[in-house]
Amino acid sequence: NAGVTQTPKFQVLKTGQSMTLQCAQDMNHNSMYWYRQDPGMGLRLIYYSASEGTTDKGEVPNGYNVSRLNKREFSLRLESAAPSQTSVYFCASTPGKHTQYFGPGTRLTVL
């Protein structure tokens, strides 16, 4: 039981490049989330998927898109990366309410 896994662990992009961050959970959880963590800002919600087949914007969705591929997988795409998207990205899942389980994170640098 791996919990929540994220790939890649690290990534460096040039401004304007695109990439997809992958997230998968093996806990049969319904809801999944993407956060970014920046110094002094805590964890801010980018997008979430309350259940398979649905996605919704969070607090900071601009510049991102998501896909809930199936119940296990929830990907985050940057179509045209910008330096302001340099951050640590966390994926999380929950079976229903309250407690969320986090992946190890992806550290992204946009030059």
Partner 1 sequence: DQQVKQNSPSLSVQEGRISILNCDYTNSMFDYFLWYKKYPAEGPTFLISISSIKDKNEDGRFTVFLNKSAKHLSLHIVPSQPGDSAVYFCAADSGSSNTGKLIFGQGTTLQVKP
Residues that bind partner 1 (CB under 8 A): 4, 31, 33, 35, 40-45, 48, 50, 56, 58, 90, 92, 94, 96-105
Shortest spacing between CB 4 and partner 1, in angstroms: 7
Where does the chain have alpha helices with state H?
A: none
Q: Which residues pair with 57 in a beta bridge?
A: 47
Shortest spacing between CB 66 and partner 1, in angstroms: 14
Q: Which is nearer to partner 1, 13 or 92 (CB)?
A: 92
Shortest spacing between CB 16 and partner 1, in angstroms: 28
What tokens were used for 26? 């093996």
Strands 87-94 and 31-38: antiparallel
Q: Which is nearer to partner 1, 4 or 81 (CB)?
A: 4
Among candidates 39, 26, 50, 30, which has minimal Cα distance to 103? 26
Q: Which is nearer to partner 1, 42 or 53 (CB)?
A: 42
Strands 4-7 and 19-25: antiparallel
